[in-house]
């Protein structure tokens, strides 16, 4: 049972672990607990407080194993904004976490694009074989998809779950059409909690397997 066996790297006190395990045990019964992907769904439901999120998540091209292998080699983790970067558990792995925002402001000014998408363009030479987390900026995911479609790069894993009503659903659908391992969510929902919950669950599973 998760209630007795599950350990969360982000819970640093006994009370925090007990609260998390109670939530996890309840959600496991609601969402299911048959596959590793179910564990990611569970954590995302807990992060959002919305059980409907579980049915909206999509896993393409074996993203879990791709993420575990990427962590094993210490692949860089790239996040669209500081809030996502701050939420990633920093222990249990050796991967450095970098944000796109602010890295390509010269490109943003020159091309008139968003700062997040400009960051993707600026750091494109670092993204091959990386883990990319996009929870808030559809423009960044669209820029990433464009580069992947051109064959300019291929991340090991993309967690693309930007939230919003302009290009969010479209960017995630475009991601699912690539051959890159990915975790996404259908429609306009998404955001930092889902991006962070997804990668942190993979980090937990990586640590358990060590």
Is a pLDDT exceeding 50 seen at residue 2?
A: no
Check: pTM over 0.75? Answer yes or no: yes
3-state secondary structure of 137: coil
What's the rounded Cα separation, in Å, for the pair 55 and 31? 9
**Residue 15 pLDDT > 90:** no
Q: Is the pLDDT of residue 1 over 50?
A: no
Domains defined for the chain, CATH in brackets: 50-209 (3.40.50.10230)
* CA 15 – CA 96 distance, rounded (Å): 29
**CB-neighbour burial class of residue 124 (10 A; exposed 0-12, middle 13-18, buried 19+):** middle
3-class secondary-structure state, position 43: helix
pLDDT of 32-85, one tens digit each? 999 999 999 999 999 999 999 999 999 999 999 999 999 999 999 999 999 999
CA distance to 6, 7, 63, 78, 186, per residue, from 17 (Å): 9, 7, 27, 28, 31
* Each residue's pLDDT tens digit, 91-150: 999 999 999 999 999 999 999 999 999 999 999 999 999 999 999 999 999 999 999 999
pLDDT of residue 20: 75
- How far apart are alpha carbons 5 and 35 in whole angstroms? 16
């Amino acid at each position: 049972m998760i209630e007795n066996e599950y350990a969360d790297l982000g819970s640093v006190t006994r009370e925090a672990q007990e609260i998390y395990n109670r939530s996890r045990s309840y959600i496991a019964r609601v969402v299911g607990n048959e596959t590793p992907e179910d564990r990611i769904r569970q954590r995302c439901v807990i992060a959002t407080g919305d059980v409907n999120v579980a049915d909206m998540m999509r896993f393409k091209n074996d993203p879990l194993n791709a993420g575990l292998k990427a962590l094993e080699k210490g692949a860089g983790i790239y996040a669209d904004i500081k809030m996502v970067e701050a939420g990633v558990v920093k222990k249990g792995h050796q991967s450095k976490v970098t944000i796109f925002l602010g890295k390509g402001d010269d490109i943003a000014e020159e091309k008139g694009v968003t700062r997040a998408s400009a960051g993707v363009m600026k750091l494109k030479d670092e993204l091959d074989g990386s883990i990319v987390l996009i929870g808030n900026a559809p423009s960044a995911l669209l820029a990433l998809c464009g580069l992947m479609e051109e064959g300019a790069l291929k991340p090991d894993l993309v967690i693309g779950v930007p939230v919003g009503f302009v290009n969010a659903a479209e960017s995630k659908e475009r991601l699912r059409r690539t051959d890159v391992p990915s975790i996404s969510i259908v429609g306009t929902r998404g955001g930092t909690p889902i991006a962070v919950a997804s990668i942190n669950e993979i980090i937990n599973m990586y640590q358990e397997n060590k």
